[in-house]
Each structure stands twice: as C-alpha cells, then as structure tokens.
C-alpha cells in the first residue's frame, strides 16, 4: 500500500518550490529591467543630446533637425528616468503577481494530485476486496464440487459395507459399487476441467474459410442446445485459425447464451479495414453490469455453485489471444449480449 | 493684504511631544523655513513657499533632470475638512537652458513663464501661491506640500512606452497583463513632503 503524503510535507514542498521560483524570478526580472536602466544607456543619450546642442551652434541652418533629435532623446531619457524611479515598485508587483500565480498553480496541482492519490487508494482497496471476494467464492465452489461427490461416495461405501455384512445379492453390491464409481467420475470430471484450463495448448494455425467453419458449426450443433436457433450470417473470409479450438470457443459462447435463456444466437462475419471479426450475438438476459469488467477472469460466473467454475470464457479468450486475435465483450443488456471474436490475419 | 504669521510648522507628521523634544535639535536642521501667508481681497489665502525647498539637494537634482518636478500644495480646513490647493510645475528645458514654470492656483488660474536662471527662479518662487478662499474670520489649516519627481503626463508616456515593449505587435500598445502588472506600478514616489498646521486670523 502506498503511504499518503502528509500535509506538512506537501506544504514544505510547495514552500520550497515557491522559494526557488521566486529566486529565479527575481534574478530574471531584475535582469531585463536593469538592461534598460544601465547607466551607459543614459550616458549615451546625454552625450547625444549634448552633441545636438553643439551642432546647432556649428550648423544653425539645420537647427530644427537637431532639435527634433534632441527632443526624441530627451523623451527617451525621461521615460528611462521615470521607470528607474519606479523600478522597485514595478519589480515588487511583477514578482508578487507571478508568485501568487505560482502558489495558486502549485496548490491546485497538489490538491489535484492528492485527490488522485485518494482515488487510486480507494480503487486499490476496492480491487483488493473484490479479489478477496472472488477468491472466497472460488473456495466455496471448490469445496462444494469436491465435498458433494466425496460425501456421496462415502455414504455409498458405507452402504456397500452394510450390504457385504448383510450378505446382499451380487446385483445389489454391483449397483452400490456403480454408485461409488459415478461419484468418483464426477470428481474426475471436475479435475479434468482444471486440466483443460491449465493445459490449453498452442493453436495449430491454418488458412481456413471462416464462413465454412461457421456453417459447419451451425449444422453440427443445431440440436445441441434445445430451444436455441443458430443463425449463420452467410459471409465468408479467410483467416488463420485452429478449427478445433475455434469450435471450442463457439461452443462456450453458445452454451453461455443458452444458459442466459437465449432463443437465437447469430454468428456474423464482419470485414473491417482488412480485419476479420466474428460477432456472436444472442438475445438472452445479458450479463449483470457488475460482472462485465471481470467477465473474462477465471472463476467469474453467473451460475449457481455446483453448475460450473466460470473458466469457460477465460479459456476462450486465452485461445483467441494465442491466435493473435482476441475475444471481447461488445455489449450486453437485457436484450442480449454480443461477443466479438477477432483473428490474427490471413497469413499463418 | 496683510502678512499673517503662522503658528507653527513641522515636517511630515507631528510626532508625540516627548519625541519632538528629544529630536528637536535634529528636526530643526531639517525643517524648511516657515510658511508666510497673505490674505488677499475676497478672503483669498495665499502662501509663499520657503526658499529652502527649492534649494534642497534632492529637489535641485530633480529640477535639472529634464523631468517636470511637481509641487502639490493641499490646504485642508481642519474643522470643515474643506480641501483646496494649488500646483507648481517646473521643468528645465535642456535645449534652450531655461526653466519652464507653470502655476495652477486653487481657482484654476494658470500662469506660465520661461525663466532664464536659477536666481530668477528663486525670485519667482517667492511670489505668493493662492491656495483657497474663505469667508470665515479664522481658518485652522493643515497645509501639505508634496514634491513629485515627474508629472502625470510623463508617467503616462512612460507607462505606454513600457506597455508597448511588453506587448509587441498588439494593436494599441501593450497587453492587458503587462498593463496590469507593470503599467499601474509606475507612480511618482514623492521626493519629499512637508506638513504645516496653522491657525490663520483673517480679520
């Protein structure tokens, strides 16, 4: 966790920055003003005026011209003298004004940074709590998935022992043994699901017709989810893809759509600026808003405990990322959900 | 017309009595000569400013600078708080080497002259300056004299000049920022100031 900067530290920093700024400002502003007020400038003007007066005696015919130049120098000299006499006040006002602006800017920046820090701290805290909540939920699901078959298997074994002691028939013993076996198989399926998550292999990419893959998928899986109609958008594009892995992704998306009560799932190929995407849109109930930002995280699911571990979408996204593409949630509402499958390109 | 003797004259602010007593020897050397007043027809009060003001080192230096030294005399009735006054402007013309003087009295009457020498200027300085007109038999006055190093016109000219320098290429001279930061700080800081408190009897 980051530590909050103390108010004293902030104030000291602002004061130090202000002091440095003032020193710099004082030096610079004094410098430009002193350039105009250098004694040499004044002396030069005075000498020039003296020259004009001398010239009027030596060359009386051009007296008017000398007078004009004399007056111009006199005016300039007067201005410099007026500014010289106001030098301190001018510098003070200039420095104070800029210093005030600096302090306001520094304070505003500090306040903004402080608020930003507080927001980041709050976000960090919220994310930590969410992570912890997610882990707790995961632990509950693991416990349930393991505890169910184990308890059932233990009870079946006890029944089996009773049957043995009671000289039960072979068929009864076989039935009890089969029940134990079924529960152990449930445990095995559960561990397989994790194995598939841990062992998602690299895709074997080949140039394939995406239109053909989608068409085949719609035909093959037409009765896979009762009450769900798969619609093929009809377009085609060549992509670099592992056909089996893409099918696994589409199965996962359609399975989720069926779970959300969708009646149709439309698979539409879109070509945009040379990029091929496959939009999968269902008309189910949508994904709850609070889950949308984390929908691709492992163990995030809308299903009840015992109905799935929430690994499907995270596996599907990993598969598409391995393709050089991605799987994104485009939109979700009570009218349905759209996922977008993007591909790496035509060259494998 | 008749001369009215002033009751007292002190420089700047009247300090506490103890301090005055303590500093009296020092103050005495710094004080200008006393003001001399005249009562003219119509209850007009005129004052002759002390010659020591004109010969003060700082004032002499400023008088020869080419800028317009301005002597502002403010007369306030201490009872009625009525304010009146007059102004003298003196500029040394370096080309013709003459003193250009202008006197503006309480009734806006102006007088301008070209004076050829400092001695003549000192003589002119001694002419009474009409400060106010009053019908009251007595006038408790506070007279303030402030010597400014340059005139308002010269200040404005310098302000516009520096404003243009700060706002090159903008129409009409400087930017608002330069005007706000710098232009308004150009002010004539008084070279010196005097204060006299007098009680005039005009009977």
Backbone phi, psi, residue B113, to 5°: -150, 155
Rounded to the nearest 5°, which phi and psi values hold at A340?
-120, 120
Q: How many CB pairs under 8 A join A and B?
A: 63
Are B154 and A82 inside 8 Å of each other by CB?
yes
Q: Which residues of B touch A92 (CB under 8 A)?
A: 185
At B100-134, the pLDDT tens digits run: 999 999 999 999 999 999 999 999 999 999 999 98
Nearest Cα to Cα of residue A338 among A251, A250, A258, A266: A266
**A54: burial class by Cβ within 10 Å (0-12, 13-18, 19+)?**
exposed
Q: Which one is predicted more confidently, B168 or B183?
A: B183
C-alpha neighbours within 13 Å on the C-beta side of residue A221:
24
Both tokens assigned to B138: 């007595």
| Residue to test with chain B: of A86, A93, A98, A100, most B Cβ within 10 A | A86
* Run of H or E residues at B47: strand B44-48
- Note the pLDDT of residue B145: 95
The two tokens of residue B8 are 């007292």
- Host H or E run for residue A269: strand A264-272
DSSP state, residue A104: H
The A residues from 84 to 143 touching B (CB cutoff 8 Å) are 85-86, 89-90, 92-94, 97
Query: Out of A77, A90, A93, whose CB is closest to B66?
Result: A77
Give the C-alpha separation, A81 to B69, whole Å.
13
- Are the beta carbons of B130 and B44 closer than 8 angstroms? yes
In chain A, residues with a C-beta closer than 8 Å to the C-beta of B181 are 93-94, 97
Q: Which of A253, A270, A244, A274 is nearest to A337 (CA)?
A: A253
Contact indicator for A337, A282 with CB cutoff of 8 Å: yes
**B121 in Cβ contact with B102 (< 8 Å):** no
Q: What are φ and ψ of residue A306, in 5° steps? A: 100, -10
**H/E run at residue B138:** strand B138-148
Question: Which of A53, A71, A82 is nearest residue B158 as measured by Cβ atoms?
Answer: A82
CB B61 within 8 A of CB B90: no
3-state secondary structure of B63: helix
Q: Per-residue DSSP letters for A153-205?
A: HHHHHHHHHHHHHTT--HHHHHHHHHHHHHHHHHHHHHHHHHHHHHT------
Q: Give, for all 348 residues of chain A, the pLDDT tens digit.
A: 556 667 788 788 888 888 888 888 777 777 767 777 788 888 999 999 999 999 999 999 999 999 999 999 999 999 999 988 888 887 888 788 888 888 888 888 888 888 898 899 899 998 888 888 878 877 887 888 888 889 989 998 999 999 999 888 889 889 989 988 998 988 888 887 777 667 677 889 999 999 999 999 998 888 888 888 888 877 888 999 999 999 999 999 999 999 899 999 999 999 887 788 999 999 999 999 988 988 998 888 877 766 777 888 988 999 999 899 999 999 999 999 999 999 987 777
Taking the CA of residue A61 and the nearest CA in chain B, the distance in Å comes to: 16
pLDDT in tens, A7-30: 788 788 888 888 888 888 777 777
- Chain A residues with beta carbon closer than 8 angstroms to that of B154: 78-79, 82
Distance between A13 CA and the closest CA of chain B, angstroms? 27
Q: List, for residues B84-98, the tens digit of each pLDDT value.
A: 999 999 999 999 999
Residue reference for tokens 């400002």: A25
**Which residue has 């150009």 as its token pair?**
B186
User: What confidence score (pLDDT) does residue A41 get?
Assistant: 87
pTM above 0.90, yes or no: no
Q: Contacts of residue A71 in chain B, CB cutoff 8 Å?
A: 95
Tokens of A155: 């009870």
Which residue do the tokens 């200039």 mark? A94
What residues of chain A, 66 to 95, have a C-beta less than 8 Å from chain B? Answer: 67, 70-71, 74-75, 77-79, 81-83, 85-86, 89-90, 92-94
Angle at A42 between CA A41 and CA A45, to 5 degrees: 85
- DSSP state, residue A228: -
Q: How far is B176 from chain A (nearest CA, A)?
A: 13
- B67, A82: Cβ pair inside 8 Å? yes
Query: CA neighbours within 13 Å on the CB side: how many for A288?
Result: 7
Cβ–Cβ under 8 Å, residues A228 and A254: yes
d(CA B89, CA B125): 11
Q: What is the pLDDT of residues A40-80, one digit of tens each?
A: 888 999 999 999 999 999 999 999 999 999 999 999 999 99
Residue appearing with tokens 């011209």? A65
For residue A186, the model assigns a pLDDT of 85
Helix axes A312-322, A170-198, angle to 10 degrees: 40
Which chain B residues have a beta carbon less than 8 Å from that of A81? 65-67, 150
Q: For residue A72, give the nearest of B157, B47, B147, B91 by alpha carbon.
A: B157
Phi, then psi, of A268 in degrees rounded to 5: -125, 125
The residue length of chain B stands at: 203
A169 phi/psi in degrees, rounded to 5: -70, 165
B111 and B103 Cβ atoms separated by less than 8 Å: yes
Cβ contacts of A77 on chain B, cutoff 8 Å: 66
Asked if residue A286 lies in contact with residue A260, where contact means CB atoms within 8 angstroms, the answer is yes
Q: Which long-range contacts (CB under 8 A, 24 or more apart) does A116-119 make?
A: A117/A2, A117/A4, A117/A5, A118/A4
- Residue B172: pLDDT band with limits 50, 70, 90: very low
Q: Which residues of A touch B153 (CB under 8 A)?
A: none
pLDDT band at B17; cut points 50, 70, 90 = very low
Count the alpha carbons within 13 Å of B46 in the hemisphere toward its beta carbon: 20
- The minimum CA-CA distance between B18 and chain A, rounded to whole Å, is 34
Q: Quick check: helix, strand or coil at residue B103? A: strand
Interface residue ranges in chain B relative to chain A, Cβ cutoff 8 Å: 65-67, 94-95, 149-150, 154-155, 157-158, 161-162, 180-182, 184-189
């Amino acid at each position: 966790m980051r530590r909050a900067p103390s108010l004293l530290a902030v104030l000291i920093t602002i004061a130090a920055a202000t002091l440095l700024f003032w020193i710099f400002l004082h030096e610079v502003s004094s410098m430009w003003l002193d350039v105009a007020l250098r004694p040499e400038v004044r002396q030069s003007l005075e000498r020039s005026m003296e020259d004009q007066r001398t010239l009027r005696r030596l060359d009386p015919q051009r007296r008017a011209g000398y007078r004009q130049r004399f007056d111009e120098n006199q005016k300039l000299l007067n201005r410099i003298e007026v500014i010289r006499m106001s030098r301190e006040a001018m510098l003070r006002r200039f420095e104070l004004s800029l210093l005030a602006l600096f302090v306001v800017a520094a304070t505003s920046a500090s306040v903004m940074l402080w608020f930003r820090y507080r927001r980041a701290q709050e976000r960090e805290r919220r994310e930590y709590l969410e992570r912890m909540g997610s882990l707790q939920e995961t632990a509950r699901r693991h416990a349930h998935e393991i505890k169910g078959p184990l308890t059932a298997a233990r009870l079946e074994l006890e029944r089996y022992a009773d049957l043995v002691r009671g000289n039960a028939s072979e068929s009864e013993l076989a039935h009890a043994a089969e029940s134990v076996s079924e529960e152990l198989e449930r445990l095995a399926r559960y561990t397989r699901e994790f194995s598939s998550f841990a062992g998602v292999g690299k895709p074997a990419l080949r140039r394939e017709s995406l239109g053909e893959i989608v068409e085949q998928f719609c035909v093959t899986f037409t009765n896979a989810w009762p009450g769900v109609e798969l619609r093929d958008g009809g377009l085609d594009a060549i992509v670099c893809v592992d056909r089996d892995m893409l099918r696994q992704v589409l199965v996962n998306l359609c399975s989720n759509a069926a779970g959300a009560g969708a009646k149709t799932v439309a698979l539409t190929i879109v070509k945009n600026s040379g990029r091929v995407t496959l939009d999968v849109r269902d008309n189910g109930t949508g994904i709850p808003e609070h889950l949308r930002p984390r929908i691709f995280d492992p163990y995030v699911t809308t299903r009840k405990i015992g109905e799935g571990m929430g690994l499907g979408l995270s596996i599907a996204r990993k598969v598409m990322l391995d393709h050089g593409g991605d799987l994104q949630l485009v939109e979700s509402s009570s009218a349905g959900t759209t996922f977008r499958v993007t591909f790496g390109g035509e060259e494998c | 017309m008749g001369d009215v003797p002033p009751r007292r004259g002190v420089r700047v602010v009247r300090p506490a009595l103890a301090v005055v007593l303590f500093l009296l020897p020092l103050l005495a050397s710094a004080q200008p000569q006393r003001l001399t007043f005249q009562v003219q027809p119509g209850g007009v009060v005129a004052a002759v400013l002390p010659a020591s003001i004109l010969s003060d080192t700082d004032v002499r230096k400023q008088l020869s600078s080419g800028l317009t030294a301005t002597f502002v005399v403010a007369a306030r009735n201490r009872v009625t708080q009525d304010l009146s006054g007059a102004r003298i402007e003196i500029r040394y013309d370096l080309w013709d080497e003459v003193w250009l003087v202008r006197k503006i009295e309480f009734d806006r009457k102006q007088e301008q002259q070209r004076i050829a020498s400092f001695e003549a200027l000192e003589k002119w300085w001694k002419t009474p300056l009409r400060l106010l007109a009053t019908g009251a038999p007595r006038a408790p006055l506070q007279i303030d004299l402030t010597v400014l190093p340059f005139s308002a016109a010269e200040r404005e000219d310098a302000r516009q000049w520096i404003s243009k320098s700060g706002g090159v290429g903008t129409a009409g001279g400087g930017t608002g920022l330069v005007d706000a930061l710098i232009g308004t700080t150009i002010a004539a800081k008084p070279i010196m100031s005097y204060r006299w408190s007098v009680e005039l009897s005009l009977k």
